[in-house]
Amino acid sequence: MQKWSELYSRLKSASPSLSEQLIQFDSAESPPALAIVQGYRFIAANQAALSYFETIEQKFINATPYDFSPRIQSSGRNSIEYGQQQLREASHGNIVAFNWLHLSQQGTELPTKVTLYPFNLDGNDVVLVQFMAMDRRGKRRPQSTNGFECLPKELMSITLEDSAEAVYITDENNHILAVNKAMCRICGYSAEHMLTKTPSELNLEAMLNDDIDPNPLRNKDNWQGEVCKYRSDGSKFPAWQSCRRIYADNSVYFVNLFSDISEKKRLEAKLTQQAMYDKLTGLPNRFHLIKILNKAIDNIRQHNSLIGALMFLDLNGFKNINDSFGHATGDKVLQLVAARLETCCLDDAEIARLGGDEFTLVLPKCKNKQEIEAFSDLVLSLFDAPFEIDGQKFYLSTSIGISLFPQQSYEANQLLSMADTAMYSAKKSPNHIRFYNAAIREAAEKKLVILNDLRHAQSLNQFSLVYQKIVDLETNNTIAVEALLRWKRSNGDILDAQEFIPLLEETGSMVSVGLWAIKQACAQMTQWHGLYNDQLKITVNISTSQLEHPDFVSMLTKVLQQTQLPADKLIIEIEESALIRKPTQMSAVLGELKQLNIGIAIDDFGAGLCSLSRLGSLPIDCLKIDSGFAQRLHEPQGKELCKAMVQLAHTLNISYIAEGIETKAQKELLLKMGKGYGQGYYFGWPATAEVFASESLSLLKKA
């Protein structure tokens, strides 16, 4: 902790109140947890702070406050952005106090009251940070004796003699007056050999580094720190030593205690190794990446003509491997990916694994953006060949987001956030590579606003349903109605389901909103049964997360009971991807739904990756042919593809619904392919319940 003592002692402020605050910290009965931040990084911390975060100095220095924080605070704010905002406020000369959720090195949640004090250190602005646990009452215990003054001196002598720590006492001329057994055992000298000699005559001591004062008690009465010592055989070992000046009987004595910390240092080195590298792949982990990136940023400052790049990789399709083949297979795939990246990039980039299927590459020195693009193409090409495990081939691709330094930031965490944001944008781009830019930032900010609005949409009753008819292509009779979810935002914008369903999944609200939509649709169809045709069916889209919910079937059963809609008048539409994810669970769920007599349709069939071999084994009633095929009926190939799907439905003895029919010609072409059903603007636009009833159901009104 020598670095802490030195930097802390050089803190200066023109404010009397801040100078007084330092005095209060120094005189506190229990040292408060304190750290010094320069820019956005810790440069020093006292032992109380390191203990609070369950870490060691090597891992804490050069880290940022948000390295010990969750990504999002409980208030909903981004830790990086909010933390930087508070540090900037303090650097402007203000004392800032706020509540913050920290995470220790071991992952323990630490609700903390943080206070930031602005100071000057050798001409540079720094911030002294105080961490105070919010769950501590802070009451001072009444002062009490420790009992030692009541014990006989003979007992104290025996205790000191048998202590496990080495003890030696010197006079003011540094001659050894007394040693204990541990001193003899650790250093390998007899007591007779050491008495009356000085430590330097015995060649006992070797300071760990030049920063340590060879006479640490020159200007104070006590000191402790890490030193190096020698044994009698000349071997060197690290020790933790404490020294104290004692005045007794008009004489000065120096009491020195130390312990051999060789094993502790070996354990620390091992823990540091474990803390810096990913166990599964052996690659540097997130903490190590930040150090690598900070070093690259510092180096690039010296080369104005060069640029550095941080590439953020996410594996496309990895989740399906985990879900279908298990995590053990997924882990093997990750190891193969890591090996392939290392083989290709070892000389050009530093590789790290952040966790899950996320990897990063740091390119420390590039001549231009074109060189980075060429390297990105090389990384993409690594995924052209499949990954083979136990004879099974797995095809993956990757999406790459890239941030540049120092052009876009000097901050490692900010660069990581930028590359992460660019990566999500890359998933939607044709070549799966995106550089972070203003447009991506604006899109991310817009998404954040929409996400915040979406969290409150249900409580504000902003969701609604519109309805679109499904007709018999042969008779033009309405045989079913599809319920479609809409969201009317506070600003008046109305969004279709496909624009916000993925965001509902992100917020974890899909199951709740989906259940509301099912209830509304079933209740509406029950009402229409009473007024119009009681043979009409209602179709409702069900997301994969709803199907995977353990209580989905029971929730659906309860809805049918509450709304009194016959089960055979409800059709649920599921995505093709639901048949691939967790196939065993999906088969069981669909089997239960079939027993209840609920209809099951595969939505947007032909647009996904459905396994045809599984279709015949699942209780499917209907295929909804994706609207894209109706739009291609004028093309020979499109016509043949559509015909093949119609024939597939007939072969499986199930019905089909062709989506996206907009013209009479499209309808007639489909009818020639085989009897079925159609849906699209040609038959009617989606409309509210009132408009739909008046336009499409009024002729069916019961007498």
Confidence label for 154 from pLDDT (cuts 50, 70 and 90): low
pLDDT tens, position by position, 411-426: 999 999 999 999 989 9
Cα–Cα dist 315/541, whole Å: 28
Cα-Cα-Cα-Cα dihedral sign, residues 547, 548, 551, 554: positive
Share of the chain above pLDDT 90, in %: 48
> In the prediction, which pLDDT does 353 show?
94
**Distances, alpha carbon 426 to alpha carbons 408, 434, 436, 440, 446, in Å:** 18, 5, 10, 10, 17
pLDDT tens, position by position, 546-563: 998 999 999 999 999 999
Angle at which helix 79-91 crosses helix 412-426, to 10 degrees, equals 150
pLDDT, mean over the chain: 87
Cα-Cα-Cα-Cα dihedral sign, residues 609, 613, 619, 621: positive
Q: Which residue has the higher pLDDT, 608 or 203?
A: 203
- DSSP H or E segment with residue 526: helix 510-531
User: In b/e form, how buried is each residue of 33-66, taking b as 16+ CB within 10 angstroms?
Assistant: bbbbbebbbbbbbbebbbebbebebebbbebbbb
> In the prediction, which pLDDT does 142 show?
43
Q: Which residue has the higher pLDDT, 348 or 606?
A: 348
Backbone angles phi, psi at 200, to 5 degrees: -70, -35
- DSSP H or E segment with residue 700: none
> In the prediction, which pLDDT does 151 show?
62
> In the prediction, which pLDDT does 556 show?
95
The residue-averaged pLDDT of 178-188 equals 91
pLDDT tens, position by position, 320-373: 888 778 889 999 999 999 999 988 776 778 999 998 899 999 999 899 999 999
Share of the chain above pLDDT 70, in %: 92
Size of the chain, expressed as the number of residues it contains: 703
The three-class DSSP label of residue 145 is coil
Q: Which range (2-16, 356-370, 514-528) has the least confidence?
A: 2-16
Cα–Cα dist 57/42, whole Å: 10
**Residue 686, preceding peptide bond in cis (omega within 30° of 0):** no
Confidence label for 681 from pLDDT (cuts 50, 70 and 90): very high
> In the prediction, which pLDDT does 60 show?
87
Pair 314, 358: CB distance under 8 Å = yes
Both tokens assigned to 141: 């215990």
Task: End-to-end CA distance of the chain: give it in Å, rounded.
Answer: 90
Identify the DSSP state of 383. T
Where would I find the H helices in 10-152?
16-27, 47-52, 57-60, 79-91
Where would I find the H helices in 277-317?
286-300
Whose CA is closest to 421, among 430, 410, 408?
408
User: Is residue 144 scored above 50 in pLDDT?
Assistant: no
Pair 400, 313: CB distance under 8 Å = yes
Confidence label for 213 from pLDDT (cuts 50, 70 and 90): low
- C-beta neighbour count of 684 within 10 angstroms: 18
Calculate ∠ Cα 106-110-116, nearest 5°.
120
Both tokens assigned to 234: 């000349």
The three-class DSSP label of residue 292 is helix
Confidence label for 404 from pLDDT (cuts 50, 70 and 90): very high
User: Is residue 211 scored above 60 in pLDDT?
Assistant: no
Backbone angles phi, psi at 523, to 5 degrees: -65, -40
> In the prediction, which pLDDT does 522 show?
96
Q: What is the pTM of this model?
A: 0.54
> In the prediction, which pLDDT does 327 show?
87
Pair 423, 399: CB distance under 8 Å = yes
The three-class DSSP label of residue 396 is coil
The three-class DSSP label of residue 393 is strand
Cα–Cα dist 604/264, whole Å: 62
Give the pairing type, strands 599-605 and 570-575.
Answer: parallel
> In the prediction, which pLDDT does 140 show?
37
The three-class DSSP label of residue 1 is coil
pLDDT tens, position by position, 271-306: 777 788 888 998 999 989 999 999 999 998 888 789
Angle at which helix 552-563 crosses helix 583-595, to 10 degrees, equals 20
User: In b/e form, how buried is each residue of 610-637, taking b as 16+ CB within 10 angstroms?
Assistant: beeeebeebebebbbbbbebbeebeeee
> In the prediction, which pLDDT does 315 show?
94
pLDDT tens, position by position, 22-33: 989 988 888 899
Walk across the sheet containing 350-355 and list its strands. 350-355, 358-366, 307-316, 397-405, 433-435
Whose CA is closest to 600, among 572, 626, 628?
572
Cα–Cα dist 87/75, whole Å: 18
User: Is residue 3 scored above 50 in pLDDT?
Assistant: yes
Cα–Cα dist 620/157, whole Å: 87
> In the prediction, which pLDDT does 475 show?
92
User: Is residue 491 scored above 50 in pLDDT?
Assistant: yes
Q: Which range (115-124, 248-257, 676-685) has the least confidence?
A: 248-257
Q: Which of 247-256, 497-506, 663-672 holds the top average pLDDT?
A: 663-672
- C-beta neighbour count of 686 within 10 angstroms: 17
Confidence label for 627 from pLDDT (cuts 50, 70 and 90): confident
Question: Which residue reads 């890591």 in tokens?
Answer: 338
Cα–Cα dist 102/108, whole Å: 8
Cα–Cα dist 19/13, whole Å: 6
Both tokens assigned to 679: 């849906």
User: Is residue 207 scored above 60 in pLDDT?
Assistant: no
> In the prediction, which pLDDT does 33 show?
95
User: Is residue 483 scored above 60 in pLDDT?
Assistant: yes
Whose CA is closest to 131, among 37, 241, 260?
37
Cα-Cα-Cα-Cα dihedral sign, residues 234, 236, 240, 244: positive
Exposure of 630 in the CB half-sphere (CA atoms within 13 A) = 27
Cα–Cα dist 79/68, whole Å: 10
User: Is residue 613 scored above 60 in pLDDT?
Assistant: no
Pair 15, 57: CB distance under 8 Å = no
Q: Which range (117-126, 207-216, 309-318, 369-378) has the least confidence?
A: 207-216
Strand partners, 229: 205, 237
Pair 53, 105: CB distance under 8 Å = yes
User: Is residue 608 scored above 60 in pLDDT?
Assistant: no
Say if residue 298 is exposed, middle or buried (CB neighbours under 10 Å; 0-12, 13-18, 19+).
exposed
The residue-averaged pLDDT of 431-445 equals 89
Confidence label for 137 from pLDDT (cuts 50, 70 and 90): very low
Strand partners, 125: 120
Angle at which helix 327-345 crosses helix 318-325, to 10 degrees, equals 140
> In the prediction, which pLDDT does 616 show?
66
